[in-house]
Amino acid sequence: MRVVAAMSGGVDSAVAAARMLDAGHDVVGVHLALSRNASRLRESARGCCTLEDAGDARRVADRLGIPFYVWDLAERFQRDVVEDFTAEYAAGRTPNPCLRCNERIKFAALLDKAVALGFDAVATGHYARIVDGPEGRELHRAVDPAKDQSYVLGVLTADQLARAYFPLGDTTKERIREEAAARGFSIARKPDSHDICFIPDGDTRGFLSRALGEAPGDLVDATTGAVVGRHAGTHGFTVGQRRGLGLDRSSLDGQARYVVEVDANRRQVVIGTADLLTVRELHGEHVRWCGPAPLGHIRVGAQIRAHGEEVPATAYLDRGQDGAAGRLRVHLDRGVRGVASGQSVVLYDGTRVIGSATIAATETRTPSAGR
């Protein structure tokens, strides 16, 4: 089988490429150039798209004796991930750019180009497992819960999973580093990259302020409607945020205040006490199924953050006209605090990923019987 190994320059993708080669596949290493102005050196442990990273990937490919190429997807990444990220915040939502990158870059643009060039599959260094099930290939959690990345892969469709390989899903991160050292990879102890890769200094608010500028508005008390402060732009806030609110605390009762709603249209950031953060129901859009679309209602585990807790839930589903997507409503058995629109909910059946959706709205009330 001819395989493109996506090589970021990190230890995980290096070992993934090596394992695919060990399995007897015809492997070609590909580094994705995703930055239009790539720096030569990494500024921190967050980025993964520098010239230094490309060089690290090339050295691993040379050691493995496989062809190596750099594919320039910077314009596509800018449009489909970076601009999407800023547009979502501008609209008052909180997106996860890693899911967008997997959906639109690594398993769309990269996979499409690989298939067009005659390759059969793409292998990455994600920590997740592919299992052959009764209805086709299934996406499952990795054996190492601390490194499991199935959440950010929950946007993949059955067709994409059919051409995806995750060789690291059965191994812990420390064993991967040991294996890399045994193979003579100089990057065996290279620090992990952390999202968000296109904000290497980690200052998301600063990045958004530079991209969107200032749009001043009011901080509004959720209970009284009173204006309790000012802000420079709703894009600097997300539901559940406590720090950096700029409140006039002399007018408060001493209780901690959190962002409970971001209204970009009215330029309002609504703040309230912790009891207003608990969500019991989610409404999803942009539904993606990792296999056949279910129908009716099903019991699931719902995960709302990349490293968040899985919560027992019931998902209510309506099949779309194309049979692959439809409306989604998820009722959580217990409340979850600080859920924002724009985040993703990923549904599980045990370790298997069923699918995902972008959260369009939330509710705090418990649905009545028969809903």
Question: Which amino acids are annotated catalytic?
Answer: 101, 197
Helix, strand, or coil here: 101? helix
Q: Which amino acid is at 26?
A: D
SS3 10: coil
Which residue has 């442990």 as its token pair? 45
Are 233 and 259 spatial neighbours (Cβ–Cβ below 8 Å)? no
What type of residue is 8?
S
Q: Is 126 left (phi over 0), alpha (psi -120 to 50) or beta?
A: beta
Where are any strands of DSSP class E within the chain?
A: 2-6, 26-33, 68-72, 121-123, 128-133, 136-141, 164-165, 217-221, 227-231, 258-263, 268-272, 278-289, 296-303, 311-317, 328-337, 344-349, 352-363
